[in-house]
Amino acid sequence: MEVNGPIIFIDDDEDDQLILKPILEEIAPLSSILFFTNGQVAVDYLKTTEQRPFLIISEVNLAGINGLELRRQIEEDAQLRKRAIPFIFFTHPVYKHMVEEAYDLTIQGFFEKRDSISEIRLQLQAIIDYWSKCLHPNRFTNED
């Protein structure tokens, strides 16, 4: 995890992207925000990029492979799993079985999107603040 690395955001709702992008650009100005509308395209990107992403934030309800399957593919790929990119679900609606399955896939957080932009801003700020300060294996360079 590179604190200034890109934030990978997977959400196929273009309205959500229009709302979330400026919020993320404001609270994480040193990270580029890369939106993907398709989980498989996001996995393909992660497999080919040399960048060290800061964070992956994903909707659960996606067309094609859903967020749970996306996380499963990351966990089952030895190279991607070793990269240990923090993975957060940010979704609506939320059901108990969904949360249970997500945590079986060793995610690092599960948040239900709130209704107001101010509440969403607070949620995303908390996520970014936490992972900006958290020690994590990918925070170290090869020289450390």
User: So where are the chain's domains?
Assistant: 7-136
Residue 1 pLDDT > 50:
no
* Topology given in CATH for the domain delimited by 7-136: Rossmann fold (3.40.50)
pLDDT tops 60 at residue 144:
no
Query: Phi/psi of residue 100, each to 5°?
Result: -60, -45
pLDDT surpasses 80 at 140? no
5 and 33 Cβ atoms separated by less than 8 Å: no
Beta-bridge mates of residue 8: 34, 56
pLDDT digits (tens, 9 = 90+) for 39-91: 999 999 999 998 889 999 999 999 889 999 999 999 999 999 988 899 999 99
Comparing C-alpha atoms, which of 125, 143, 142, 99 is closest to residue 24? 125
8 A C-beta contact, residue 94 and residue 110: yes
Going by C-alpha positions, the residue among 88, 94, 98, 97 that lies closest to residue 123 is 88
7, 125 Cβ separation under 8 angstroms: no
